Structure 1
Amino acid sequence: MTQTALLVIDVQESFRVRPNWSEVNHPDIADRVNRLVRAARANGDLVVWVLHTEPGTGGAFDPANGHVRFIDGLEPAEGEPLLTKTSHNAFTTTNLQQLLTQHGVREVVVSGIRTEQCCETTARVASDLGYDVTFVTEATATTPLPHWTMPADATLADVLADPRTLSPETIVERTEYVLAGRFATIRTLDEVAPPVLAS
């Protein structure tokens, strides 16, 4: 039985069509996640793919607009489960927990977009459900986070000019602070997916 599952959360084109993608901390997120995917497959771990959808909204996450698909270079292998969710965490609106139970999974490795939102929320829920959680911050990505009073239609320039906006670096630091020792173990990409030594 598989003991570990890699969760690939929302690494989808929906984010790349938004203006704030130009400020993402890890534009190479697909390559980073692919390293984890290759390592997981080599270890015989379960790889679970998750896409976020907001049907009927007309936005970047509405499946009707064609952006709810993995970023180029990422592709589930035959037999790897693909779940679509409508909540921030990967459990509430999917059968993820049932799937993990069927595969005997006790540890989940979290990767994806966005660090502080769907990834962090999934890590917290997984921990509360009793899983050991490894959070690979380097294989997550996020963009500057505006203050909650900023209008929804504010331009990227307005968001970046506001001194209250949190940088991706600050977001990452806060996420690691709140997860570490409580909800997850923070591990680096090299720790979870060691680089292949050149022959």
Structure 2
Amino acid sequence: MNSALVVIDVQESFRRLPDWEFVSQPDIVRQVNRLVTVSRDQGHLVVWVLGSRPGSGTVFDPARGYVRLMDGLTPEAGEPLLTKTAHNAFTTTNLQQTLTSRGVRHLTICGIRTEQCCETTSRVASDLGFDVTFAVDATATTPIPHRDAPPEASFAQLMSDPHTLGVADIVERTEYALAGRFAAIRTVAELTGA
């Protein structure tokens, strides 16, 4: 086994956020499961990662009960389930040790958010010497307000602001940032042969 699928933050926390209705990939669970099925069939490791902010009182605080995989995602026996407290999946977990102890040299990255935890993990993985594939349509993100957006603005106001970065632009920028530098960009269809 020299390949692994790393599923990042596909967790219930995100469904509790007000911007989830604008998510780029509403069928993220189906897309991830397509990759999981192929990875398992090929004998590749599947690693599950959850994002956590203990004591924050937010939906990312484990005490609230939402730091769990989205319904429809089920790890099998022997598949690591790691919890991180940083944006990338390496810094606060034993992911690197888990991968290297199993001889993994190639990673396929998927999950939430495209430009945040998934992109950051891809960059770190590349810097650590892993060959990285970014499964772009098995990632999801939501619009990003401009840095000068008023903090008191409602989500409806932010969505009507022309300076809010839309999901298509976020995904495109991530592809440009990663391709040829940190990762190969592929679709689920390309990766599954569908």
TM-score range, shorter chain: over 0.9
- Residues 19-58 of structure 1: CA deviation (Å, up to 9, x unaligned): 1000001111000000000000000000000000000000
Inter-CA distance 150–84: structure 2 relative to 1 (3 Å threshold): same
Count of equivalent residues: 194
Structure 1: distance between partners of 2:190 and 2:164: 31
Q: CA distance change for structure 1 residues 40 and 153 in 2, over 3 Å: closer, same or farther?
A: farther
Counterpart in 1 of 2:130?
Answer: 131
Q: CA deviation at 1:162?
A: 1.1
Match of 2:65 in 1: 66
Q: Distance in 2 between matches of 1:108 and 1:3?
A: 9
- Structure 2 equivalent of residue 117 of structure 1: 116
Following superposition of structure 1 onto structure 2, how do residues 74-85 of structure 1 map, counting pairs within 5 Å? 74-85=73-84
Q: Which residue of 1 aligns with 2:46?
A: 47
Q: Distance in 2 between matches of 1:152 and 1:182?
A: 35
Identity of aligned residues (%): 63
Give unmatched runs, 5+ long, in structure 1: none
Question: What's the TM-score once normalised by structure 1's chain length?
Answer: 0.95
* Structure 2: stretches of 5+ with no match in the other structure: none
CA distance in 1, matches of 2:153, 2:92: 30
TM-score (norm 2): 0.98
> Matches of residues 84-163 of structure 1 in structure 2 within 5 Å?
84-163=83-162
Q: Distance in 2 between matches of 1:152 and 1:119?
A: 26
| CA distance in 2 between partners of 1:167 and 1:187 (Å) | 21
Tell me, in whole angstroms, the C-alpha distance in 1 between the residues paired with 2:167 and 2:37.
Answer: 26
Return closer, same or farther for 1:153/1:77 CA change in 2, 3 Å cut-off.
Answer: farther
Partner AA of 1:155 in structure 2: S
Q: What is the Cα deviation at residue 193 of structure 1?
A: 1.4
